[in-house]
Amino acid sequence: QKEVEQDPGPLSVPEGAIVSLNCTYSNSAFQYFMWYRQYSRKGPELLMYTYSSGNKEDGRFTAQVDKSSKYISLFIRDSQPSDSATYLCAMAGRLSSGSARQLTFGSGTQLTVLP
């Protein structure tokens, strides 16, 4: 069993739709939860970051973490064609320095938003 499982997709939605992307994990030591966005032929870029459980909102994006269920989600409201990309969840445990270095990634979900 992989440490992090991500819905494989691909996912295709019409412009304006609400998108839900999800990951589950097995390692209870994970404390930091991230979503990266990767456009074609580019490196991943950090989109959202959450520490421990709860919700975090940034514009059209909302990240949710449920540590009791070991389940994280990313919601995209009013999706745009420019949101078309691969979305990767990533997680890390806590180090004494407070920085999270050893990232464990999901396999990514390819999202296409159709105009």
Partner 1 sequence: SAVISQKPSRDICQRGTSLTIQCQVDSQVTMMFWYRQQPGQSLTLIATANQGSEATYESGFVIDKFPISRPNLTFSTLTVSNMSPEDSSIYLCSVEDVGPRANYYNEQFFGPGTRLTVL
User: Can you tell me which of 12, 16, 18, 46 binds partner 1, judged by CB under 8 A?
Assistant: 46
Contacts of 88 (CB under 8 A, 6+ apart): 6, 35, 36, 37, 38, 44, 105, 106, 107, 108, 109
The reply to whether 42 sits near partner 1 by the rule CB under 8 A is yes
Q: Which residue has the tokens 């870029």?
A: 45
Interface with partner 1 (CB under 8 A), residue from 53, 73, 103, 112: 103
Task: Report the residue number, 16 or 51, with the smaller CB distance to partner 1.
Answer: 51
# binding residues, partner 1 (CB under 8 A): 26
Per-residue tokens: 5 = 């499982």
